């Protein structure tokens, strides 16, 4: 049953299949790829049913995308590659699901989506490939299934290539201390920007929400404990400031009632890992709009979709 609140047009009669790498078996993390997570949440937010197809490596899907990159969304037999292109197709199928109210709001949503895919992604890649504190666990997670001979050579070579690209992007050029100093500053700025009510750019979920979520949630896995701690630290400070600041407390008492669909779904900032069967969203409890969730109220709609799926 359609529950997202968006009017469906051009909804495909063909099945939707998301092609990606193996599920990491971490609660709330469908994929190590933030771009795959972004598409998962976009499909759920738009209330579009889909199936998953996993491959052992990106080359498995090279016939669908010659660049060898994932995700790829199959709409029937038609492959749509690149997460941004996939979100655009989702918007075409369910108007308003990724662009909100349109106009200026849509333009801002897609600008934030680009920011997440470029700027925030640089920090995510650096946290896994360049950060010496995390590399041993990342190397094990990514390469442990390979034959021993390949495992002895390939990870180091790939790491050198990726770190070189991070230097070229100015993410790692000044070294780790400067990179993580900028990362912390970015989180602080995003926390200030995070809306007090609703979604990132308007009254409904947009591409901005799912894109920011994908990148930040990708740093909440056991692979990147220091970065995970930075996100948790801001979540804690936001809770404290929300409770202790008189002006904010006053404003919270003056807030208008939540729309009917949000009241039915649960309170603002609900812990989706507890509220959803199987805990699949895995978003920590935090005030609505906090950047540490990336997507708080938008995910409340996911609860209904996933509960419906569990009921069959």
- Please, which residues bridge with residue 78 across strands? 75
pTM for the complete prediction? 0.76
Percent helix, percent strand, percent coil in the chain, to nearest 5 = 55, 5, 40
Nearest to 32 by CA among 214, 235, 255, 245: 214
pLDDT at 103 over 90: yes
Taking the domains of the chain in order of start, what are their residue ranges?
99-311
What digits encode the pLDDT tens for the residues 212-253? 999 999 999 999 999 999 999 887 665 544 443 333 322 332
How many Å apart are CA 265 and CA 220, to the nearest integer?
A: 24
Kindly report the CATH number that applies to the domain delimited by 99-311. Answer: 1.20.1050.10
Give one DSSP letter per residue of 108-130, joined into a string: HHHHHHHHIIIIIHHHHHIIIII
Is the bond preceding residue 71 a cis peptide, omega within 30 degrees?
yes
Contact 59, 26 (CB under 8 A): no
pLDDT at 122 over 70: yes
Which band of pLDDT confidence, cut at 50, 70 and 90, is reported for residue 263? Answer: very low
């Amino acid at each position: 049953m359609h529950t997202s609140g968006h009017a469906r047009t051009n909804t495909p009669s063909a099945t939707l299949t998301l092609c990606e790498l193996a599920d990491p078996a971490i609660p709330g993390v469908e994929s190590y790829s933030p771009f795959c997570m972004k598409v998962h949440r976009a499909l759920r937010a738009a209330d579009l049913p889909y199936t998953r197809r996993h491959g052992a490596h990106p080359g498995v899907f090279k016939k669908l995308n010659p660049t060898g990159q994932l995700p790829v969304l199959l709409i029937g037999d038609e492959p749509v590659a690149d997460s941004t292109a996939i979100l655009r197709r989702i918007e075409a199928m369910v108007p308003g699901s990724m662009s909100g109210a349109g106009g200026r709001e849509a333009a801002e949503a897609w600008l934030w989506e680009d920011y997440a895919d470029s700027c925030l992604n640089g920090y995510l890649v650096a946290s896994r490939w360049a950060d010496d504190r995390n590399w041993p666990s990342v190397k094990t997670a990514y390469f442990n299934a390979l034959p021993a001979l390949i495992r002895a050579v390939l990870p180091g070579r790939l790491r050198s290539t990726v770190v070189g690209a991070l230097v070229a992007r100015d993410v790692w050029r000044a070294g780790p201390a400067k990179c993580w100093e900028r990362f912390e500053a970015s989180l602080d700025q995003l926390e200030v920007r995070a809306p007090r009510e609703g979604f990132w750019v308007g009254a409904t979920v947009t591409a901005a929400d799912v894109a920011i979520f994908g990148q930040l949630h990708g740093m909440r896995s056991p692979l990147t404990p220091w970065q995970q701690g930075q996100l948790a630290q801001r979540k804690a400070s936001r809770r404290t400031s929300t409770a202790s600041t008189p002006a904010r407390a006053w404003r919270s008492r003056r807030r208008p009632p939540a729309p009917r669909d949000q009241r039915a779904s649960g309170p603002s900032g609900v812990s989706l890992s507890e509220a959803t069967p199987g805990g699949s969203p895995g978003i920590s409890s935090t005030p609505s709009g906090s950047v540490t969730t990336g997507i708080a109220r938008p995910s409340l709609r996911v609860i209904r979709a996933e509960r419906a799926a569990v009921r069959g």
